[in-house]
């Protein structure tokens, strides 16, 4: 496994996404927030991490970077949905745990316009608080640096 991980944010026509790249530029993970296309489909979430990189906190990095980039674009009280919770995996004791439950997602309640087809939901602000340790995510500010400039403001490198 490599030691240097890069997180990049991208906006595509139908979704926002953050991706993880290893030190040779291979994509090893992705967090995607689909844009609202019509009133039948809300913002929904998808996440994937290569097996060798799971359990290292990289999912939180992906989500945290997404939150930083979408602050002010997506209203804090906007609900984000998943259609099916396929994140169930055994913990060290063998008990099944859901990553989406860990993040604070709740079952979509009766009466919600997206109850049919979407299993769980969470407010954008609650998701961002969870991955930032309960702190509010601040808007990104451009800073002039006297030291080395990064090639892109949307790129973070983690060791």
Query: Residue ranges per domain, the chain?
Result: 5-158
User: Is the per-residue pLDDT at 2 higher than 90?
Assistant: no
Order of strands, sheet of 45-49, starting from the edge strand that comes earlier in the sequence: 45-49, 27-34, 15-21, 5-11, 155-158
What percentage of the chain reaches a pLDDT higher than 70? 82
CA angle 10, 89, 96 (to 5 degrees): 135
Quote the tokens at residue 88.
């169930």
pLDDT tens digits, one per residue of 89-118: 888 899 999 999 999 999 999 999 999 999
pTM comes to 0.78
SS3 of the chain: helix, strand, coil, percent, to 5: 20, 30, 50
Quote the tokens at residue 13.
């026509």
Domain 5-158 matching CATH 3.90.1570.10: the answer reads: no
């Amino acid at each position: 496994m490599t030691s240097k991980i890069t997180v990049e944010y991208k906006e595509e026509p139908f979704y926002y996404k953050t991706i993880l790249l290893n030190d040779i530029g291979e994509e090893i993970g992705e967090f995607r927030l689909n844009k609202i296309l019509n009133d039948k489909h809300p913002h929904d979430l998808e996440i994937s991490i290569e097996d060798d990189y799971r359990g290292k906190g990289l999912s939180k990095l992906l989500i945290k970077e997404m939150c930083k980039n979408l602050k002010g674009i997506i209203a804090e009280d906007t609900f984000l949905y998943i259609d099916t919770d396929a994140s169930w995996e055994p913990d060290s004791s063998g008990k099944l745990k859901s990553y989406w439950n860990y993040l604070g997602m709740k079952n979509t309640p009766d009466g919600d316009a997206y109850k049919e087809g979407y299993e769980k939901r969470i407010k954008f602000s609650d998701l961002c608080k969870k991955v930032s340790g309960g702190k509010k995510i601040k808007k990104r500010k451009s800073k002039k640096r006297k030291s080395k400039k990064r090639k892109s403001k949307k790129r973070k490198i983690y060791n």
